[in-house]
Structure 1
């Protein structure tokens, strides 16, 4: 048998430790996938979904169906079905978020149209307005260019006809 040199003696335990660490990490990841969601993850998902539903309620949206689904998620949470609770909470959160963003756009849309109309009017007034005003002044000057004002003096005692 060969003798191991000093570098091989130092490297072998280091490689063994690395392989052991990689195995532990892989096992924990596999165990977590098998174990499913934790209670804390489910609670966090339900809390986030509740906050989104609360925002929608404050915005004036009808949130009753989402509250019912959130109550189902809470029921699953209390029974220990954390995976189902997370799934339901995420569905509620996604649905309400989409509805809320659409509602905000619908609420903002009339203001954007009014701003667009105002912009078009201002472009027309300031863009073509100067040209039209210049044309009007030119026409007025041409019309009154040959106009002569004559003053007639009245003599004392004369009557107007």
Structure 2
């Protein structure tokens, strides 16, 4: 059980946990999850921790799209944003990169979910460990993380 799964259980929301055999040689954790789970990659979202202004924020974006840091900065109300250092991400979230979940992080960070999530009845995000995803509604994810929806990744390219 991961902190992400525990958080979903405690909230008594509807969710499903999906496990697959993670390949350490996989180039993209998100693409690997979509392929191995047999789901549309537009429903699989990656969790990125970003330096935005003086602090960190979480961006949840489709795995096949590139996070637009300018759009994230705009959503967060700051001038600039850049991907956070891996060591800092792991220290602040309590998760290993490649298994960072937007749920159950050690420190709650402001969270932004790409608006495309709202087009799907359910989406998949990391459940806090490589090879484990949690499927839930975008609305439940937003409620649990106190997230806002915003356009973050409008173009292709991971």
TM > 0.5 between the two? Answer: no
Please give the TM-score of this superposition, normalised by the length of structure 1.
0.20
- Which structure: larger Rg? 1
Please give the TM-score of this superposition, normalised by the length of structure 2.
0.20
Higher RCO, 1 vs 2 (CA within 8 Å, ≥6 residues apart): 2
Higher percent of residues as strand: 2
Higher percent of residues as helix: 1
